[in-house]
């Protein structure tokens, strides 16, 4: 019989507490440490994740998994492969998937060339060491883009920023895990995954591509991922990335800010709209390049509308809320920040799009389509020029020059042929001015820069060269500031004075030499 | 002192009656013991032999001890008294012993008493003994001993008499050392030894001498038969280490079988427990091992470069001691091996000579990048020890670097294209100059220069279509395309426009060829990358490190060369080659860091990349993750595609036309069957009977050739054949026979009428018979011709509607052929002149065929259709995208992206040393073609044969 029930109850409670608390602390601490590490990695805070893992003590399957994941984020796929070699990890689905990724990544990246710009906090790994000449440019663009976009979004990005520059889509697939068929179908140039930017080198595309904006686009993805702990929906990721990919730099010719609204409206009108909530797991996995283009336009237009309507502070709050709520859907955060659901926003945006005035003509003048005759002349001119028959090359290609011709590549061909034939003035006339072309073509801008420099407009020339390098840095015309080495005289040909550009020019000529 | 004489007398008596008999008893005992020991030892076991030896020893010892005891006993007085007197008269004997003892004591001890008294006492005691009683006892004792002795000897003799050899054998076994008795004995009579060679030698059993020495094929079965000389022995056949027991052969004999694997000296033996007694005769056998086949390969060992040979000849002689089963050509390169059967034999032939030619374009050789070691290997028919191959010395074939043949071919076509660029420039320059009033001399000079350039281009184009570049040739389709373009340049004055067209067409074809070759070369280079990876993996194992590093170094060298060759093959090749070079640099960085694991990883990545020979970046239009890039103007010429389209349509036309021919054939056949001559059967039989009656009196064969009688005899034969064909309703053949018979009759009449040919006269009777045969023959022939025509008309009627439809279709085919010919002469995709001619002729023949078919002349129309089909097939050369070389039958892999028809499989062309056989073959073909043909396959055969002869 208990004589003092109160004393008994107190003793019992104390005993229970004494047992429960340590148990709770043991259970609670272990689970939360893995989650902490995982979150740190997702937020691309490599140093913090390393510190947490160092403090973790003990070993568990989950911790090993996170260790491997961290290695991948650091770019050390070889180490990740070793960690994931454990049968314990490979037994699980996610362990097996990560192991496969680590192995293919290791194959594509081991013995690569690593360059670091420590002051600016950029880590660059080159699969093809022949891309070394690009490194200064990559560092510069990456640093400027990162700094500008982090300021815009109010989010920092821990250093270093890691970039893998790969040789081809096969390697892109190996390093990122994106299926190669999907990459080839949609023409994927870069992805932001595993805390890194993985981008194809501009040397892979014969006619180049706007790699600077592509790099900035992917950096934006990393920043948004960090800001939201990867809870941002795809429309927000892609919309922001597309919108901000050129925000870090000064405006360039043919930066068409209205293109997104134009394309989105057209898609809505002719029933080819993708829908901002129907993007699937990735735009890169949409079935056609056209679908991908429309998707980009729609999300960009939508974000533009969001910002116009809700403002930048709302955007920052939305990012923070997404991270805080941690839900897979953006609905709660969207409602919380703006008071509206996605469907309501979507409707509002479509209404706004439909009501907006048509864009002014002339922003992108209509293009004269390529005819068969044009193609013939272009090819004949190229063949003649390769054999050093500049006069005949010029004669063959010059008839394509009609007043409506706005294709910069054709104008460039004509100008090049005239220049090689010794007709400088004809070349300049043929090349035309900015108002006589409709898009960016690297070699056109390089030659344009050369002509501007000859006229004494050094600033204009530099700007032109920069535009060229921004799209096709390893073209000889672009890298060598419009100067081509005569056949057989590659070794002694003129080089740009700037050391970086000189290295780029040499690299471009090495490509030609082969 | 007693009277010694009494005791001596007793002793003498005892010796006389007992002593001798005791000696005999001892001998008998020893003899019996020996016989018993022999029988015991015969068992052969160790206990038995030990017991036998012990028994023998015991017998001897007993006998000797008995004798010795007797002698000792009788050598003293006391002993004699005990031995002789005591058993007879015990009391007296005791008294004698006491007296003797006293006498003896008194001799030495004076205190014992008087010696004389003692002696006198002793003598008195002895005097009481009866000599007769002693004698009687001695006789009785002697008799007993004699009896025992006799019994023992008798028993021993019986034991010997029953099986005398058993005793001998027992002794032999008893004294055996190390399990072998010293004295050999014969065990078998009528000994016969036969040898059965192993089954695969297919040799019959043969007998050999049962002694001496012999060399026999390994694994032969030695069979020893005989009749045991003595029953009850366990006979064995032994070589001293192994034994095989003889068993009853069911014919009062025994047999044992021995398999000859090692040299052996065989003997028959009998086993007695642990001991054998060998037969004195031995048979020494030496197995002759089956040797592996020997191969002599002419010219081996040697090393040759594949670039310098179109084909590699292997002339070999294979020999074996017993029989050959298989001869193969074995190709090895690195870790890869391919075996090709050259000869499959029945195991009888011991010597074979042969030859084989390996084409430089062989798929295995093309795939290999490391030296290929080629050997001729042969296996004999011995299977017991598994497959054993004889191998010739090697021919080492050094393949060209990966991509080298393709690079050379590409460079050749590129050079022709570049020459066209110069020609175009020349023409444009001339035009520009003309605007400025060109002086005549310069005009002429420029014209000459242009002609030279045209000639140069044509020369290069001809060369590239006919040459092989380290084994690589242009495909038939692409060659035809190039020749078609060349034809455009052969016109009198080549306009600038035409030059442009040809230039762009060749440029398009060159880029297509380059891209296809780049993809193929990339895949082969992937194998070299795999080799690097495999080598690195091997080197990770410390015991194979140097071998692994060697493989890595070799394969890296191949990769270096191959990637350089790849870069030259169009834009795709430049891209892939650049990728390969970049990855090679990465491999070398890993190698320099001594990280073989990383070397393997990078090499595998490169192999995977090269096996997917797509551009590094390919996108039809918009780029994901960025804006749009620059557009290219599109293809400048579609001549190659137009050509391929033309060829595809031509192939379809040929296939459909062939189907049309089959339909017409079926229609005619059905019509023939429908217009059956069943109703003519009775008439035909009647005609046949008339013919038979008429020919009865014509002479049989046998007359002098060239005589009238001989001609008449031939007529008889033809008439007989005609009668048979009439009965079978083979009217066409019957008409043929009838015509021949008629001709022979005419001959006979002519010869008989010749006054100069005295011996050729026919007597009047025979001439009457000839005349008698003429009329039935004429009637039968006329009837057959009419009946045949009626049948044909009926068949034509039956087939009329089908033939009319066929005529319409044939006309449409002709139109299509005309269209193709027209496109081939006027479009960018020009055809060579001979191809265009063939098409035009095909069109013309088709129209003729249509007319014949429309007129109901099915057979004539069909013949023309077949001719048209031959022309169509001749025109079809394949597409520009076809594989360049035919595949061998062993390697049927189709490459990625390979489109269009597969060319025919290569067959083995008889090599030079088989020219005689090849010539004979051609002669047979020609002979066959010259004969009358029948059957539906005849047209195909004809086309094939014509193709052979062209």
Average per-residue pLDDT in chain B? 86
Nearest to B549 by CA among B535, B562, B537, B559: B535
| The pLDDT of residue B1 is above 60 | no
Structure-token match 């056109």, residue found: A444
Q: Provide the strand spans (E) within B681-739.
A: none
**According to the per-residue pLDDT averaged within each range, which of A162-176, B150-164, B667-681, B772-786 is highest?**
A162-176
Contacts of B226 (CB under 8 A, 6+ apart): B187, B188, B189, B190, B191, B192, B253, B254, B268
| The pLDDT of residue B402 is above 70 | yes
Contacts of B238 (CB under 8 A, 6+ apart): B244, B266, B267, B269, B276, B278
Closest to A107 (Cβ–Cβ): which among B575, B601, B635? Answer: B601
Backbone angles phi, psi at B613, to 5 degrees: -80, 60
pLDDT more than 90, % of chain A = 68
Per-residue model confidence as pLDDT tens digits over B31-83: 999 999 999 999 999 999 999 999 999 988 888 898 898 888 888 888 888 88
Q: Tell me if chain B has a CB within 8 Å of the CB of A287.
A: no
Asked whether the beta carbons of B41 and B53 are under 8 A apart, the reply is yes
Question: Residue A204: pLDDT band by 50, 70, 90 thresholds?
Answer: very high
Mutate to test the interface with B, among A238, A244, A380 (most CBs of B within 10 A): A380
Taking the C-alpha atoms of residue B531 and residue B600, their distance in angstroms, rounded to an integer, is 9
Tell which B residues from 636 to 675 touch A, by Cβ distance under 8 Å. Answer: 636-637
| The pLDDT of residue B933 is above 50 | no
Q: Tell me if chain B has a CB within 8 Å of the CB of A111.
A: yes
Half-sphere exposure of B269 (CA within 13 A, CB side): 28
Whether B176-288 and B294-399 share one fold: the answer is: yes
Architecture of domain B176-288: Sandwich (2.60)
Closest to B605 (Cβ–Cβ): which among A108, A440, A511? Answer: A108
Judging contacts by C-beta atoms under 8 Å, the chain A residues touching residue B626 are: 189-190, 209-211, 213-214, 217, 245
pLDDT more than 90, % of chain B = 54
Q: Is the dihedral of CA B334, B337, B338, B341 positive or negative?
A: positive
The secondary structure of chain B in percent helix, strand, coil, rounded to multiples of 5, reads 60, 15, 25
Tell which B residues from 487 to 546 touch A, by Cβ distance under 8 Å. Answer: 500, 503-504, 507
Q: Which helix (H) or strand (E) holds B184?
A: none
Structure tokens at B475: 């495909």
Per-residue model confidence as pLDDT tens digits over B184-225: 999 999 999 999 998 888 888 999 999 899 999 999 999 999
Using DSSP's 3-state secondary structure scheme, residue A117 falls into strand
Structure tokens at B625: 């993750």
- Is residue B386 exposed (0-12), middle (13-18) or buried (19+ Cβ within 10 Å)? exposed
Closest to B579 (Cβ–Cβ): which among A167, A189, A293? Answer: A167
**Cis omega (within 30 of 0) on the bond before A160?**
yes
Tell which A residues from 90 to 109 touch B, by Cβ distance under 8 Å. Answer: 104, 106-108
Contact A207 B634 (CB under 8 A): no
Judging contacts by C-beta atoms under 8 Å, the chain A residues touching residue B416 are: none
What's the gap in Å between the CA of A217 and the closest CA on chain B? 7
Nearest to B121 by CA among B231, B10, B3, B19: B3
How many other CB atoms are there within 10 angstroms of residue A433's CB atom? 10
Which residue did the predictor score with more confidence, A383 or A366?
A383
Mean pLDDT, residues B179-184 = 94
Asked whether the beta carbons of B729 and B679 are under 8 A apart, the reply is no
Closest to B624 (Cβ–Cβ): which among A108, A283, A396? Answer: A283
A237: nearest CA partner in chain B: B625
Asked whether the beta carbons of B186 and B282 are under 8 A apart, the reply is no
| The pLDDT of residue B4 is above 50 | yes
Closest to A370 (Cβ–Cβ): which among B571, B602, B633? Answer: B633
For A323-348, give one letter per residue: b (16+ CB within 10 A) or e. Answer: bebeeeebeebbeebbeeebeebbee
Structure tokens at A392: 């005949």
Q: Is the CATH number of domain B294-399 2.40.10.480?
A: no
Lowest mean pLDDT segment, chosen from A17-26, A34-43, A269-278: A17-26
Q: Tell me if chain B has a CB within 8 Å of the CB of A511.
A: yes
Nearest to B633 by CA among A435, A446, A373: A373
In chain A, where the domains are located: 30-108, 112-228, 249-364, 372-513
Task: Output the pLDDT for position B258.
Answer: 95
For B438-471, give one letter per residue: b (16+ CB within 10 A) or e. Answer: beeeeeeebeeebeebbebbbebbeebbeebbbb
Task: Output the pLDDT for position A27.
Answer: 41
Judging contacts by C-beta atoms under 8 Å, the chain B residues touching residue A130 are: 578, 582
Tell which B residues from 573 to 592 touch A, by Cβ distance under 8 Å. Answer: 574-575, 577-579, 582-583, 585-587, 589-590
Structure-token match 């045969």, residue found: B773
Tell which B residues from 832 to 871 touch A, by Cβ distance under 8 Å. Answer: none
Per-residue model confidence as pLDDT tens digits over A458-467: 999 999 999 9
Pairs of residues, one from chain A and one from chain B, whose beta carbons lie less than 8 Å apart:
205
Per-residue model confidence as pLDDT tens digits over A397-413: 999 998 888 999 999 99
Task: Output the pLDDT for position B362.
Answer: 87
Half-sphere exposure of A280 (CA within 13 A, CB side): 12
What's the gap in Å between the CA of A133 and the closest CA on chain B? 15
Per-residue model confidence as pLDDT tens digits over B258-312: 999 999 999 999 999 999 999 999 999 999 988 899 999 999 999 999 888 889 9
Backbone angles phi, psi at B638, to 5 degrees: -120, 25
Judging contacts by C-beta atoms under 8 Å, the chain B residues touching residue A204 are: 575, 615-617
Per-residue model confidence as pLDDT tens digits over B596-651: 999 999 999 999 999 999 999 875 444 555 445 556 677 888 898 899 999 999 99
User: Which CATH fold topology does A372-513 show?
Assistant: 1.25.40
Q: Tell me if chain B has a CB within 8 Å of the CB of A114.
A: no
Contact B636 A376 (CB under 8 A): yes
Structure tokens at B135: 């004698």
Task: Output the pLDDT for position B674.
Answer: 62
Question: Residue B167: pLDDT band by 50, 70, 90 thresholds?
Answer: very high
In chain B, where the domains are located: 4-168, 176-288, 294-399, 405-610, 660-875, 914-949
Q: Is the dihedral of CA B500, B501, B502, B503 positive or negative?
A: positive
Judging contacts by C-beta atoms under 8 Å, the chain B residues touching residue A129 are: 582, 585-586
| The pLDDT of residue A364 is above 80 | no
Task: Output the pLDDT for position B895.
Answer: 38
Per-residue model confidence as pLDDT tens digits over B587-596: 999 999 999 9
CATH number belonging to domain A112-228: 3.40.30.160
Mean pLDDT, residues A118-130 = 95
B860: left (phi over 0), alpha (psi -120 to 50) or beta: alpha
Task: Output the pLDDT for position A278.
Answer: 82
**Cis omega (within 30 of 0) on the bond before B301?**
yes
């Amino acid at each position: 019989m208990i004589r003092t029930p109160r004393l008994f109850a107190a003793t019992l409670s104390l005993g229970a507490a004494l047992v429960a608390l340590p148990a709770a602390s043991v259970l609670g601490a272990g689970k939360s440490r893995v989650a902490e590490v995982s979150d740190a990695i997702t937020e691309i805070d490599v140093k913090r994740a390393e510190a947490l893992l160092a403090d973790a003590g003990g070993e568990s399957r989950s911790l090993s998994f996170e260790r491997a994941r961290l290695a991948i984020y650091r770019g050390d796929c070889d180490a990740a492969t070793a960690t994931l070699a454990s049968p314990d990890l490979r037994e699980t689905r996610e362990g097996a998937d990560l192991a496969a990724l680590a192995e293919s990544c290791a194959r594509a990246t081991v013995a690569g060339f690593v360059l670091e710009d420590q002051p600016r906090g950029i880590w660059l790994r080159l699969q093809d060491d022949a891309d070394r000449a690009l490194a200064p440019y990559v560092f510069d663009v990456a640093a400027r883009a990162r700094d500008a976009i982090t300021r815009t979004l109010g989010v920092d990005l821990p250093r270093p920023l890691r970039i893998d520059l790969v040789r081809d889509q096969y390697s892109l697939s190996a390093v990122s895990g994106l299926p190669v068929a999907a990459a080839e179908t949609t023409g994927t140039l870069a992805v932001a995954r595993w805390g890194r930017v993985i981008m194809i080198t501009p040397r892979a595309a014969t006619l180049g591509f706007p790699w600077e904006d592509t790099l900035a686009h992917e950096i934006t993805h990393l920043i948004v991922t960090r800001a939201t702990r990867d809870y941002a929906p795809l429309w927000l990721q892609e919309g922001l990335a597309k919108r901000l990919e050129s925000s870090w730099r000064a405006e360039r010719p043919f930066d068409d800010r209205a293109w997104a609204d134009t394309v989105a409206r057209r898609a809505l009108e002719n029933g080819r709209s993708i829908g901002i909530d129907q993007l699937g797991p990735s735009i890169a996995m949409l079935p056609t390049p056209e679908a991908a283009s429309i998707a980009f336009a729609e999300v960009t237009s939508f974000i533009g509308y969001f910002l116009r309507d809700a403002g930048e502070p709302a955007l920052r709050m939305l990012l923070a809320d997404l991270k805080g709520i941690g839900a897979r859907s953006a609905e709660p955060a969207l409602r919380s920040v703006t008071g509206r659901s996605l469907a309501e926003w979507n409707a509002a945006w479509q209404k706004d799009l439909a009501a907006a005035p048509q864009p002014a003509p002339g922003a992108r003048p209509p293009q004269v389509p390529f005819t068969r005759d044009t193609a013939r002349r272009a090819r004949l001119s190229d063949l003649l020029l390769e054999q050093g028959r500049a006069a005949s090359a010029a004669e063959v290609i010059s008839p394509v020059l009609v007043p409506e011709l706005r294709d910069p590549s054709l104008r460039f061909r004509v100008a090049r042929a005239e220049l090689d034939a010794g007709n400088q003035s004809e070349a300049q006339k043929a090349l035309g001015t900015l108002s006589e072309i409709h898009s960016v073509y690297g070699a056109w801008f390089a030659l344009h820069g050369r002509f501007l420099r000859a006229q004494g407009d050094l600033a204009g020339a530099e700007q032109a060269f920069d535009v060229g390098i921004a799209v096709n840095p390893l073209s000889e015309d672009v890298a060598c500031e419009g100067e081509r080495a005569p056949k057989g005289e590659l070794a002694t040909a003129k080089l740009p004075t700037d050391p970086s550009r000189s290295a780029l020019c040499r690299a471009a000529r090495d490509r030609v030499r082969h | 002192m007693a009277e010694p004489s009494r005791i001596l007398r007793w002793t003498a008596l005892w010796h006389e009656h007992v002593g001798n008999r005791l000696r005999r008893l001892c001998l008998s005992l020893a003899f019996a013991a020996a016989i018993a020991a022999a029988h015991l030892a015969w068992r052969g076991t160790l206990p038995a032999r030990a017991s036998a030896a012990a028994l023998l020893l015991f017998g001897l010892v007993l006998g000797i001890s008995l004798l010795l005891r007797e002698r000792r006993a009788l050598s003293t007085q006391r002993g004699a008294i005990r031995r002789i007197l005591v058993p007879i008269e015990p009391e007296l004997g005791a008294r004698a012993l006491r007296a003797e003892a006293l006498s003896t004591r008194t001799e030495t001890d004076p205190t014992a008493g008087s010696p004389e008294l003692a002696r006198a006492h002793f003598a008195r005691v002895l005097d009481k003994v009866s000599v007769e009683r002693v004698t009687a006892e001695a006789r009785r004792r002697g008799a007993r001993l004699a009896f025992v002795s006799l019994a023992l000897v008798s028993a021993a003799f019986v034991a010997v008499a029953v099986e005398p050899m058993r005793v001998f054998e027992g002794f032999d076994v008893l004294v055996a050392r190390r399990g072998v008795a010293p004295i050999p004995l014969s065990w078998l009579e009528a000994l016969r030894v036969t040898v059965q060679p192993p089954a695969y030698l297919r040799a019959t059993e043969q007998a050999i001498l049962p002694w001496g020495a012999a060399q026999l094929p390994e694994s032969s079965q030695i069979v020893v038969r005989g009749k045991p000389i003595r029953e009850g022995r366990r006979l064995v056949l032994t070589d001293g280490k192994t034994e095989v027991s003889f068993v009853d052969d069911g014919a009062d004999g025994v047999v044992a079988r021995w398999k000859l694997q090692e040299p052996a000296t065989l003997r028959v033996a009998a086993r007695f427990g642990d001991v054998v007694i060998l037969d004195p005769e031995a048979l020494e056998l030496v197995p002759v091992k089956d040797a592996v086949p020997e191969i002599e390969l002419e010219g081996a060992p040697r090393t040759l470069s594949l670039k310098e040979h179109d084909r590699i000849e292997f002339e070999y002689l294979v020999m074996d001691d017993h029989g050959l089963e298989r001869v193969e050509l074995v190709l090895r390169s690195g870790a890869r091996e391919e075996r090709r059967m050259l000869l499959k034999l029945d195991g009888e032939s011991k010597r074979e000579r042969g030859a084989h030619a390996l084409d430089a374009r062989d798929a295995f050789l093309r795939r290999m990048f490391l030296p290929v070691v080629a050997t001729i290997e042969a296996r004999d028919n011995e299977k017991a020890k598994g497959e054993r191959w004889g191998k010739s010395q090697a021919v080492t074939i050094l393949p060209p670097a990966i991509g080298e043949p393709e690079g050379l071919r590409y460079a050749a076509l590129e050079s022709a294209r570049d020459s066209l660029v110069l020609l175009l420039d020349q023409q444009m320059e001339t035009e520009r100059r003309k605007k400025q009033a060109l002086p005549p001399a310069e005009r002429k000079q420029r014209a000459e220069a242009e002609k030279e350039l045209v000639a140069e281009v044509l020369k290069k184009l001809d060369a590239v279509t006919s040459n092989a570049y380290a084994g690589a040739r242009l495909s038939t389709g692409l060659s035809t395309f190039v020749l078609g373009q060349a034809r455009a340049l052969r016109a009198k004055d080549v306009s600038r426009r035409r030059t442009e067209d040809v230039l762009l067409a060749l440029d398009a074809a060159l880029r297509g060829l380059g891209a296809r070759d780049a993809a193929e070369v990339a895949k082969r280079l992937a194998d070299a990358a795999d080799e690097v990876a495999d080598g690195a993996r091997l080197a990770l194992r410390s015991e194979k490190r140097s071998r692994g590093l060697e493989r890595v170094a070799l394969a890296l060298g191949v990769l270096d060369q191959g990637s350089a060759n790849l870069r030259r093959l169009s834009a795709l090749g430049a891209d892939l080659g650049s990728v390969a070079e970049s990855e090679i640099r990465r491999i070398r960085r890993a190698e320099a860091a001594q990280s073989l694991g990383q070397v393997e990883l990078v090499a595998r990545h490169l192999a995977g990349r090269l096996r997917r020979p797509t551009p590094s970046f390919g996108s039809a239009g918009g780029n994901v993750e960025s804006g749009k890039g620059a557009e290219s103007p599109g293809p400048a010429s579609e001549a190659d595609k137009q050509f391929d389209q033309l060829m595809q349509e031509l192939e379809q036309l040929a296939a459909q036309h062939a189907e049309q021919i089959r339909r017409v054939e079926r229609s005619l056949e059905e019509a023939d069957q429908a217009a059956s001559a069943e109703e003519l059967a009775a008439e035909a039989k009647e005609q046949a009977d008339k013919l038979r009656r008429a020919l009865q009196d014509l002479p049989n064969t046998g007359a002098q050739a060239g005589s009238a009688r001989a001609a008449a005899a031939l007529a008889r034969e033809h008439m007989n054949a005609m009668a048979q064909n009439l009965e079978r309703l083979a009217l066409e053949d019957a008409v043929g026979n009838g015509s021949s018979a008629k001709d022979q009759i005419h001959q006979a009449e002519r010869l008989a009428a010749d006054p100069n040919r005295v011996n050729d006269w026919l007597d009047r009777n025979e001439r009457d018979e000839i005349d008698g045969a003429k009329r039935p023959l004429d009637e039968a022939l006329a009837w057959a011709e009419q009946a045949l025509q009626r049948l044909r008309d009926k068949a034509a009627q039956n087939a009329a509607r089908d033939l009319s439809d066929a005529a319409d279709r044939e006309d449409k085919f002709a139109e299509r052929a005309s269209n193709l010919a027209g496109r081939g002469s006027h479009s960018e995709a020009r055809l060579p002149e001979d191809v265009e001619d063939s098409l035009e002729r095909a069109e013309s023949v088709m129209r003729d065929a249509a007319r014949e078919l429309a007129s109901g002349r099915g057979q004539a129309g069909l013949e023309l259709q077949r001719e048209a089909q031959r022309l169509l097939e001749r025109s079809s050369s394949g597409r520009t995208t076809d594989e360049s070389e035919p595949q061998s039958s062993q390697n049927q892999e189709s490459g990625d992206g390979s489109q269009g028809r597969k060319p025919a499989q290569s067959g083995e062309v008889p090599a030079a040393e088989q020219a005689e056989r090849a010539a004979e073959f051609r002669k047979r073909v020609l002979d066959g073609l010259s004969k009358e043909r029948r059957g539906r396959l005849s047209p195909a055969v004809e086309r094939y044969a014509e193709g052979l002869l062209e």
